[in-house]
Amino acid sequence: MSLKSYMQLRINQSPLLFALKQEVDVLPSRLLGRRAANRSWSQFGEDEILSNELGDVLQTGYFLDIGVNHPTKLSNTFRLYAMGMRGIVVEPDERLCRLHTKYRPGDIQLCAASGERDGLATFYRLSWHALSTFSHEDCERQIANGVKLISKSLVPVFTTSTILPRQRNLWVTFGSTMAENLVKPLPDRAFSGGRRSQECRLFHREVFLI
pLDDT, tens only, 19-65: 888 899 999 999 999 999 999 999 888 888 888 888 788 877 788 88
* Bridge partners for 156 per DSSP: 120
Indicate whether 167 pLDDT > 70.
Answer: no
Could you tell me if 73 and 25 are in contact, meaning their C-beta atoms sit under 8 angstroms apart? yes
Q: Computed over its alpha carbons, how large is the radius of gyration of the chain?
A: 17
Indicate whether 198 pLDDT > 50.
Answer: no
* Bridge partners for 174 per DSSP: 66
Concatenated DSSP letters of 61-113: -EEEEES--SSSTT-SSHHHHHTT-EEEEE-S-HHHHHHHHHH-TTSEEE-SE
Q: Is 13 or 123 the better-scoring residue by pLDDT? A: 123
Indicate whether 111 pLDDT > 50.
Answer: yes
Indicate whether 206 pLDDT > 70.
Answer: no
C-alpha 75/C-alpha 207 separation (Å) is: 12
Q: To the nearest whole percent, how much of the chain has pLDDT over 90?
A: 39
Q: Which pTM value belongs to this model? A: 0.77
Percent helix, strand and coil across the chain, each rounded to 5?
40, 20, 40
For the CA atoms of 193, 160, 92, 118, the dihedral, rounded to the nearest 10 degrees, stands at -150
